Amino acid sequence: MTTDPFEGMPKIHYEGPDSKNPLAYRYYDADAEILGKSMAEHLRLAVCYWHTFCWDGTDTFGSGTFARPWQFAPVTQAEAEQKLAAAMGFVERLGVPFFCFHDTDVMAAAETAQDHAANFAAIVDRIEEKMAATGLQLLWGTANLFSHPRYIAGAATNPDPDVFAFAAFQVRHCLEATHRLNGHNYVLWGGREGYDTLLNSDLGRELDQMGRFLAMVVEHKHRIGFPGTILIEPKPHEPTKHQYDHDVATVYGFLKRYGLENEIKVNIEVNHATLAGHSFEHEVATAAALGILGSIDANRGDPQNGWDTDQFPNNAAELTLAMYHILKAGGLTTGGFNFDAKLRRQSIDAEDLFHAHIGGIDTLARALRNAAAIIEDGRLDAAAKERYVKWDGAEGRAIMDAGATLAGVADRVTAENLAPAPVSGRQERLENLVNRFV
């Protein structure tokens, strides 16, 4: 087998909605201007090492199905470099600006801390060279604090402080490398920060440990002058029965408790939102309302499965509303749309990686175009604003003013003989309006 699995695969270009070429974009036109910004600037697309270059097609019942010339888990530096070359060749062909990784995705395997530091540093040198040569940028780095057996009972929330220390060691190295590579964000997904049973778990203590860990990460970010954003990725369960970073609102409450709400934002994953029983746009709108919208992992779930299938997005109608809320919030600033998404296990050819990413990117691009059209039309926003119009008037201000009291507000009911009449929410009309754009 050749060392370049993508040999002969073309660079992917925009050909427009009428194109029949499966290896072309029909909606993603990087330079096309939407609401004053290029599509590339809006979407800030990234390919993630994790499922694209590290997952071999295993599932609980069967072994890997994908044949690739690179090692999914490189043992030597030479193998890690081969994987790097393949990865960068793939991202370049797709024509997207960003990539992202877990430390253990990119480096040669290591058992001891010394080997971890040496092997990671060795590949970061090569990544830096590749970035300079290709112009690719790093959306985020993250440390894998969940795969190694040492993290069996969590990282920061582990009952053993030595495991906390090991996690701090990995994050220190990965955050510093992300800074050196001019990464735009640093992600913390609490892979095993949760519990399998409360019978053996001290929940209060574990939350304090996690708060301590995050405070240390933030302190180190400032110490080294990393200008990027620290992001937490909420997920309700899997691999643990209950994850502490359950959803956006839970993460916000946690950040408030530990005084970190102005330091850390969220990386929202579509599939994690739906596993938590929310819609994706609910999570986006909540993060926007709380001022912690950071970045997006575009992976979707399957409505019939109760686990994280991590599939590529393919439903533009569903994503349009999330995109609408992102645009209304001013867009993603340091964040972007990352494909931490998985092929299906039968999609064994290297070419399938292209179809998956092309479809995912086009779905996001189509959703972006739809959402921009809804904003330009203005009727949806006007309808929502109209519902609250009284809150901007004297009645609303009298309630929201700092000095207002319950008694004062209550007195107005009898003084003015208030008898508020119900008003239609016009949901169906608004649903029909949105359907004109998807």
* Interface with ligand XUL (CB under 6 A): 50, 102, 142, 187, 189, 233, 235, 269, 297, 308, 340
User: Based on CB atoms, which residue is closest to Co ion, 41 or 238?
Assistant: 238
CB of 50 to Co ion, least distance (A): 8
Q: How far is the CB of 352 from Co ion (least distance, A)?
A: 21
Strands (E), 24-125: 33-34, 37-38, 45-48, 98-102
- Is residue 102 annotated as a catalytic residue, yes or no? yes
The C-alpha torsion from 378 through 287 and 243 to 356, rounded to 10°, is 50
Nearer CB in complex with Co ion: 176/238: 238
Cα–Cα distance for residue pair 260/254, rounded to 1 Å: 8
Distance of alpha carbon 206 from alpha carbon 200, whole angstroms: 12
* Minimum separation from the CB atom of position 326 to Co ion (A): 17
Q: Are 334 and 24 in contact (CB under 8 A)?
A: no
Question: What is the Cα–Cα distance from 83 to 89, expressed in whole angstroms?
Answer: 10
Beta partners for residue 230, in sequence order: 186, 264
The reply to whether 4 belongs to the active site is no
Residue 283 touches which of ligand XUL, Co ion, none (Cβ within 5-8 Å per kind): none
Considering the rule CB under 5 A, would residue 269 count as an interface residue with Co ion?
A: yes
Q: Is 29 in the site for Co ion (CB under 5 A)?
A: no
- Candidates 57-65, 261-269, 327-335, 344-352: pick the segment binding Co ion (CB under 5 A): 261-269
Q: How far is the CB of 36 from ligand XUL (least distance, A)?
A: 30
- Nearer to ligand XUL among residue 119 and residue 271 (C-beta): 271
Point out the catalytic residue in the list 29, 103, 105, 308: 105
- Which of 29, 42, 51, 102 is catalytic? The answer is 102
Report in angstroms how near the CB of residue 212 gets to ligand XUL at its nearest.
Answer: 20
Cα–Cα dist 43/331, whole Å: 9
Checking DSSP bridges between strand 264-269 and strand 185-188, what pairing results, if any?
unpaired
Provide the β-strand partners of residue 34: 37
Among all residues, whose Cβ is closest to ligand XUL?
Answer: 189
Binding partner at 145 among Co ion, ligand XUL, none, C-beta below 5 to 8 Å by kind: none
User: With respect to ligand XUL, which residue has the nearer C-beta, 50 or 324?
Assistant: 50
Beta-carbon count within 10 A of 111 CB: 9
Q: What is the DSSP letter of 342?
A: B
3-state helix, strand, coil in the chain (%, to 5): 50, 10, 40
340 binds Co ion, rule: CB under 5 A = yes
- Residue (263 or 297) nearer to Co ion, CB: 297
Number of residues located near Co ion, criterion CB under 5 A: 3
Looking at residue 261, its amino acid is E
Instruction: Determine the Cα–Cα distance for residues 242 and 129; give it in Å rounded to an integer.
Output: 41
Give yes or no for residue 297 binding Co ion (CB under 5 A): yes
Kindly list the catalytic residues: 102, 105
Interface positions with Co ion (CB under 5 A)? 269, 297, 340
